[in-house]
Amino acid sequence: MTEPLIVFLDAATLPVPLKSLPLAHRWVNHAHTRADEVVARLQGATVAVTNKVAITAEMLSLLPQLRLIAVAATGFNNIDLAACCTHTVGVCNIRDYAIHGVAEHTLMLMLALRRQLLSDRQRVQAGEWQNASGFCLPANPALEPPHDLAGSRLVLVGSGALGQATAKLGAAFGMQVFFAGRKGQPETRPGYLPWEEALRTADVLSIHCPLTDDTRGLIGAAELALLRPSAIVLNTARGGIVDEAALLAALQTRQIAGAGLDVLSSEPPRQGNPLLDVQLPNLLITPHVAWASVETMQTLADQLIDNIAGYLTGAPRNLL
């Protein structure tokens, strides 16, 4: 029997060791792959591994030997699932791997914004503390005053593994933790707050839901207007969930106190982004790295190999 050929199209996105696959095979890594290189590189491949490289219906029609697409991520918007069904190509993804990393990153953004960390650092670098009249430098009067996490209300949009992990960290800091009910739903599940009540009462609104047709633009101008002026918005999920123009306007008019983002609507933002064109001490943007700790990436890599091994040995895992 011919050894299966496994081709990783964007191996540079996963810079940790891959454990051994427990069966005979051939493995080829490509650091990055352009769209016009996909078909040539997957010729003869049984398994395609991709993090963000798109695999389309047109590509699949030219790859008759392909049997599995192993997505090295949770999101799979880059895969044409309908075409995979047509061509009998399995698709599996990574699940619940970034529980600690994303929750900790969310908490980092939360603490930095609630405690004026960015502003304090900038003011020390500018020499303001060195020239202060007292032993400490008073809070920046242009921003919402610093607040403790303890006793404040954390509202989470999304109650999956990442939302639940963030809820536990918030509770450990003494926060009042609530999940938001679905927008537009007349009834709310037990343990959830109605959508508008959730927004109106949140001190911290943290997003942990997937990007779908229903959640695209979920947080726009109308939703931001419901928030308290002292509230902050955090998004470590997907950029398209938040209307970025509306968010920028809310920050500039002090309609909300701050925002922390690990994601943008287009990544990488090669064409720019309005949120990157401003210097605001209450806006903190990180480059989609909440998942990128060594431990979290290793968990992903191990699960990726298990997914491939499971499929090739007749025990598929995490199929979509």
Please report, for residues 40, 55, 146, 174, the alpha-carbon distance to residue 260 in angstroms, rounded to integers and kept in the order given.
40, 31, 15, 21
H or E stretch at 285 = strand 283-285
Cα–Cα distance measured from residue 142 to residue 121, given in angstroms and rounded to the nearest whole number: 15
The DSSP 8-state label assigned to residue 12 in this structure reads G
Cα–Cα distance measured from residue 232 to residue 113, given in angstroms and rounded to the nearest whole number: 8
Based on the residue annotation, tell me whether 288 is a catalytic residue of this protein: yes
Cα–Cα distance measured from residue 175 to residue 169, given in angstroms and rounded to the nearest whole number: 9
Cα–Cα distance measured from residue 207 to residue 102, given in angstroms and rounded to the nearest whole number: 11
Question: How do 153-157 and 204-207 pair as beta strands?
Answer: parallel
Size (the chain), residues:
320
State the catalytic residue, choosing from 3, 37, 267, 295: 267
State the catalytic residue, choosing from 114, 123, 153, 238: 238
For residue 314, the number of C-alpha atoms closer than 13 Å in the C-beta half-sphere is 0
Based on the residue annotation, tell me whether 238 is a catalytic residue of this protein: yes
Based on the residue annotation, tell me whether 208 is a catalytic residue of this protein: no
Contacts of 1 (CB under 8 A, 6+ apart): none
Nearest alpha carbon to residue 259 among 288, 227, 282? 282
Residue 257, class by beta-carbon neighbours within 10 Å (0-12 exposed, 13-18 middle, 19+ buried)? buried
Cα–Cα distance measured from residue 303 to residue 96, given in angstroms and rounded to the nearest whole number: 10
CA 218 to chain centre: 15
Beta bridge partners of 58: none
Whether 317 and 310 have beta carbons less than 8 Å apart is answered as yes
Q: Hey, which residues are catalytic here?
A: 238, 267, 288
